[in-house]
């Protein structure tokens, strides 16, 4: 924005009183009268401290009002994002922190603007929250670029990049490429067979690798090829038109793959590649806690949900847990969506802050008189573009459709959906661009789980929707034709706890207000809630399942042979079923709303077996009797009754008896000879002399 805009109207000042929300001074502008905005009505709807005067040209003639508000040093909340650059420039010398929010396209440029005041209050209340910082990684690129192609398009791209980057051209199964008159970049032939890494640290394995011959005349010729060559680079420009070198290649930092037939896309990729030199910060999208992971125990595989949905292959098995390569992670959040324990937690932002945003937004909407809010979940890129197009060229958003931006719609899981409904959303609409469709399987599963529970509690259907659209007219038609549903009373519970704790709070509220509050709702296989069923007649209380359970849902008892279970802690990972040697464990997916789910119940218990020698309790009666039946008189070590009795003794008595009676010890040797002394020899001599 030209700087003269911030100076040209410096002599024009319109004083206004200040409205505050959460200690932030709010500045409103009706954008030259294009929005029906009443300052007093907004203040009442927001129950905000103070009153406010609505500007009409805050970004032009009334810009000094913004500067005046900043002189107090208080944080500012400006209800405009179009002129954010200009406002930031005007406040460059101010110490006041500033937040911007958009109430124009999201609320008041609408055919239902007259009824959108509750939404304005909700958007302002949400924007007043302070988002936590996102941890970041550092990627470093020195500009070593590999252009991978097969024809003159790749050669031309490599030559253009060579002015700024250190470029190598690799031609895969090249056509007749005319040699350049002046060699500005080294040219090789080869096909990439394996690739890994990220911006600044790519590693490639190349077959059919050969350098170009400098004597090439009409077409580039190459030296004899070799296999298994390896190379490293910082940036890859893939112009082959073949399938991507990486799973989810569009999310791989430093990997550019335009359509080589689209010259505009190729030139954009060249422009992007020129900027990939230096140090870059990348968000650490996932906060992973390996101690919560339920992937494996004792080489038995349990939960694989995150491995199944990761589009970039950034997640790999790593012993008892998985490992997430944060440099490769593309930030889709699908692992967070499906993780039942919260081990893979999305950090941009964390679920606790999303829950706070939901609670603040929906509570402010309801307090301002809004009814049946439909929460429109979208990303801040494609979603904002569609909302803006609807506001500028169509009817805009309906008054009860409240937009809610998240980094990626694929990060949404059952926990978020349950929280949104529990805090008062009558409907949740997820707006996804068609290019995201291959990544929506995990979200579809989470929505299916939520719909099952809603149906089981009597809420009916029509509350959860996914719009996969890039056409603003189609989105607008869908939003204005949403089915009418009964409202849900929003809860006021605080968003405290981890992912699973928040989910339980939301489910408890939904059950409390449910039209049909069934205590137990069956769920489909794979759901992260449920119980375990034990065939008690086959269980020997070996407690292998207790040792394998990663969440502590299965418990033992230090005082007696007992297997207990706490349903609230069970994530249905299946490790108990995979570990059980008797194969008597099965999973029963369901959600139990009763107090029994929060308490440990006894699945099986037995009296202990008493040592036949000392009476000490050890083992279980059924397991000892089973071992006696299988080994007594049938195994060489327990061929007779006396040896079989050892099985029925505790660990102490068994040792004592075996030491006293070594007849059955396979390692016992002949009795050792008695040591002879001088006295023995003298006694024998005297005896011989006497006999003479």
- pLDDT higher for 566 or 665? 566
What domains can be seen in the chain, in order of their start residue?
5-100 (no CATH), 138-282 (3.50.50.60), 284-346 (3.30.70.20), 370-513 (3.40.50), 521-605 (3.30.70.3270), 623-692 (no CATH)
pLDDT tens for each residue of 642-684: 888 888 888 889 888 877 766 555 566 666 788 888 988 888 8
For residue 306, report the phi and psi dihedrals to the nearest 5 degrees.
-70, -40
**Mean per-residue pLDDT, 169-191:** 93
Helix intervals (H) in 25-93: 39-46, 63-70, 84-90
* Percentage of the chain modeled with pLDDT above 70: 95
- Residue 10's pLDDT band (cuts 50, 70, 90): very low
CA 505, CA 518: separation in Å to the nearest integer?
17
364 vs 106, 129, 503, CA distance in Å?
16, 13, 22
- Residue 9's pLDDT band (cuts 50, 70, 90): very low
Yes or no: say if 653 and 611 are a contact pair by the CB < 8 Å rule: yes
Q: Coil, strand or helix: which one is 609?
A: strand
pLDDT for 4 = 36
- Asked if the bond preceding 556 is cis, omega within 30° of 0, the reply is no
- Residue 89's pLDDT band (cuts 50, 70, 90): very high
Q: What is the DSSP letter of 212?
A: B
**Mean per-residue pLDDT, 309-328:** 96
- Residue 66's pLDDT band (cuts 50, 70, 90): very high
What pairing do the DSSP bridges indicate for beta strands 344-346 and 374-378? unpaired
101-134 CB burial, b ≥16 within 10 A, e <16: bbbbbbbbbbebbeebbbbbbbbbbbbbbeeeee
Token pair of 456 as six digits? 């089981």
* Percentage of the chain modeled with pLDDT above 90: 77
* pTM attached to this predicted model: 0.86
Q: Which helix (H) or strand (E) holds 511?
A: helix 499-512
CA 665, CA 679: separation in Å to the nearest integer?
35
CA 554, CA 565: separation in Å to the nearest integer?
5
pLDDT tens for each residue of 572-628: 999 999 999 999 999 999 999 999 999 999 999 988 888 988 988 887 877 888 888
pLDDT for 629 = 85
Residue 1: pLDDT over 70: no
Average pLDDT, the chain: 91
CA 350, CA 410: separation in Å to the nearest integer?
14
142-181 CB burial, b ≥16 within 10 A, e <16: ebbbbbbbbbebbbbbbbbbbeebbbbbbbbebeebebbe
**Mean per-residue pLDDT, 277-300:** 95
For residue 25, report the phi and psi dihedrals to the nearest 5 degrees.
-75, 125
Residue 16: pLDDT over 80: no
- Residue 3's pLDDT band (cuts 50, 70, 90): very low
Work out the number of other CB atoms within 10 angstroms of the CB of residue 540. 21
């Amino acid at each position: 924005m030209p700087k003269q805009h911030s100076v040209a109207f410096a002599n024009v000042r319109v004083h206004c009183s200040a409205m505050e929300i959460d200690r932030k001074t709010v500045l409103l502008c009706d954008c030259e009268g294009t929005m029906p905005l009443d300052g007093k009505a907004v203040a009442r709807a927001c129950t905000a401290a103070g009153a406010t005067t609505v500007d009409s040209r805050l970004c032009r003639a009334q810009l000094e009002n913004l500067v005046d508000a900043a002189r107090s040093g208080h944080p500012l909340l400006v209800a405009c994002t179009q002129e954010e650059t200009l406002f930031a420039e005007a406040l460059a010398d101010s110490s006041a922190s500033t937040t911007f929010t958009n109430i124009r396209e999201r609320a008041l440029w609408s055919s239902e603007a007259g009824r959108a005041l509750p939404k304005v209050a909700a958007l302002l209340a949400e924007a007043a929250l302070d988002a936590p910082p996102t941890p970041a990684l550092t990627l470093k690129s020195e500009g070593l670029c590999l252009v991978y192609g097969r024809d003159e398009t790749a050669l031309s791209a490599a030559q253009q990049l060579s002015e700024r980057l250190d470029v190598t051209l690799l031609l895969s199964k090249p056509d007749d490429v005319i040699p350049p008159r002046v060699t500005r970049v080294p040219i090789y032939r080869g096909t990439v067979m394996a690739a890994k890494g990220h911006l600044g640290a790519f590693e490639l394995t190349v077959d059919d690798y050969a350098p170009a011959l400098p004597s090439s005349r009409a077409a580039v010729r190459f030296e004899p090829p070799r296999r298994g060559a390896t190379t490293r680079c910082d940036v890859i420009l893939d112009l082959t038109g073949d399938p991507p070198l990486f799973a989810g290649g569009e999310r791989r930092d430093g990997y550019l793959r335009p359509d080589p037939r689209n010259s505009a896309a190729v030139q954009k990729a060249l422009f992007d590649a020129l900027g990939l030199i230096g140090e870059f910060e990348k968000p650490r999208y996932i906060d992973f806690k390996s101690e919560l992971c339920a992937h494996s125990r004792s080489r038995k595989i349990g939960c694989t949900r995150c491995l199944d949905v990761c589009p970039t292959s950034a997640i790999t098995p790593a012993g008892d847990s998985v490992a997430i390569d944060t440099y490769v992670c593309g930030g889709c959040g699908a692992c967070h969506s499906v993780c039942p324990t919260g081990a893979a937690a999305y950090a941009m932002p964390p679920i606790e802050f999303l829950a706070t945003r939901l609670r603040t937004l929906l509570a402010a909407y309801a307090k301002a008189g809004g009814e049946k809010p439909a929460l429109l979940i979208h990303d801040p890129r494609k979603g904002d573009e569609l909302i803006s197009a609807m506001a500028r060229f169509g009817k805009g958003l309906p008054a009860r459709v409240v937009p809610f931006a998240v980094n990626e719609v694929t990060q949404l899981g059952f926990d978020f959906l349950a929280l949104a409904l529990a805090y008062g959303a009558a409907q949740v609409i997820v707006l996804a661009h068609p290019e995201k469709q291959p990544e929506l399987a995990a979200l579809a599963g989470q929505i299916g789980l939520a719909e099952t529970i809603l149906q089981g509690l009597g809420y009916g259907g029509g509350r959860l929707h996914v719009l996969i659209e890039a056409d603003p007219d189609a989105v607008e038609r869908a939003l204005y034709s949403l089915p009418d549903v009964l409202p849900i009373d929003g809860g006021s519970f605080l968003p405290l706890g981890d992912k699973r704790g928040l989910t339980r709070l939301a489910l408890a509220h939904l059950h409390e207000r449910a039209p049909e509050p069934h205590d137990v709702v069956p769920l489909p296989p794979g759901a992260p809630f449920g119980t375990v069923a034990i065939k008690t007649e086959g269980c020997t209380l070996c407690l292998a399942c207790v040792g394998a359970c990663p969440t502590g849902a299965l418990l033992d008892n230090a005082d007696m042979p007992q297997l207990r279970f706490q349903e609230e802690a069970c994530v249905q990972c299946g490790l108990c079923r995979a570990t059980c040697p008797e194969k008597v464990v099965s999973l029963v997916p369901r959600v139990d709303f009763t107090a029994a789910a929060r308490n440990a119940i006894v699945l099986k218990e037995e009296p202990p077996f008493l040592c036949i020698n000392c009476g000490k309790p050890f083992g279980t009666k059924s397991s000892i009797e089973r071992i006696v039946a299988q080994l007594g008189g049938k195994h060489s070590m327990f061929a007779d009754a006396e040896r079989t009795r050892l099985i029925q003794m505790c660990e102490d008595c068994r040792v004592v008896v075996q030491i006293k009676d070594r007849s059955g010890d396979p390692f016992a040797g002949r009795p050792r000879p008695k040591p002879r002394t001088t006295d023995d020899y003298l006694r024998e001599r005297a005896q011989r002399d006497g006999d003479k």
